[in-house]
A and B are shown apart, each in its own frame.
Chain A
Amino acid sequence: GESVGLHLPTLSVQEGDNSIINCAYSNSASDYFIWYKQESGKGPQFIIDIRSNMDKRQGQRVTVLLNKTVKHLSLQIAATQPGDSAVYFCAENTGGFKTIFGAGTRLFVKA
Chain B
Amino acid sequence: DTAVSQTPKYLVTQMGNDKSIKCEQNLGHDTMYWYKQDSKKFLKIMFSYNNKELIINETVPNRFSPKSPDKAHLNLHINSLELGDSAVYFCASSQQLAAQAGEQYFGPGTRLTVT
Query: How far does the Cβ of A67 sit from chain B's closest Cβ, in whole Å?
Result: 20
- Whether A89 touches B48, Cβ cut-off 8 Å, given contacts A34-B103, A96-B99, is no
- Partner of B90 from the list A41, A44, A100 (CB cut-off 8 Å) is A44
Contact yes or no, B90 A97, CB < 8 A:
no
Contact yes or no, A32 B108, CB < 8 A:
no
Interface size on B, residues (CB 8 A): 27
Judge whether A59 is part of the interface by a CB distance below 8 angstroms: no
Contact yes or no, A8 B90, CB < 8 A:
no
Judge whether B55 is part of the interface by a CB distance below 8 angstroms: yes
- Whether A97 touches B106, Cβ cut-off 8 Å, given contacts A4-B42, A44-B90, is no
Contact yes or no, B42 A104, CB < 8 A:
yes
User: Cα distance A101–B41 when bound, in Å?
Assistant: 10
Query: How far does the Cβ of A34 sit from chain B's closest Cβ, in whole Å?
Result: 6
Residues of B within 8 A of A103 (CB): 40-42
Contact yes or no, A87 B41, CB < 8 A:
yes
Q: Which residue of B lies closest to A98 (CB)?
A: B56
Query: How far does the Cβ of B24 sit from chain A's closest Cβ, in whole Å?
Result: 14
Q: What sequence of 0s and 1s flags, for each residue 42-54 of chain B, a beta carbon within 8 Å of any chain A beta carbon?
A: 1111001010000
Query: How far does the Cβ of B11 sit from chain A's closest Cβ, in whole Å?
Result: 15
Contact yes or no, B42 A44, CB < 8 A:
no
Q: Which residue of B lies closest to A32 (CB)?
A: B101
User: Cα distance A100–B90 when bound, in Å?
Assistant: 14
Contact yes or no, A95 B100, CB < 8 A:
yes
Residues of A within 8 A of B104 (CB): 34, 44, 46, 99
User: Cα distance A16–B45 when bound, in Å?
Assistant: 35
Residues of B within 8 A of A99 (CB): 45, 101, 104
- Partner of B101 from the list A4, A36, A93, A104 (CB cut-off 8 Å) is A93
User: Cα distance A96–B98 when bound, in Å?
Assistant: 10
The chain B residues found within 8 Å of chain A, CB to CB, are 4, 31, 35, 40-45, 48, 50, 55-56, 58, 90, 92, 96, 99-101, 103-109
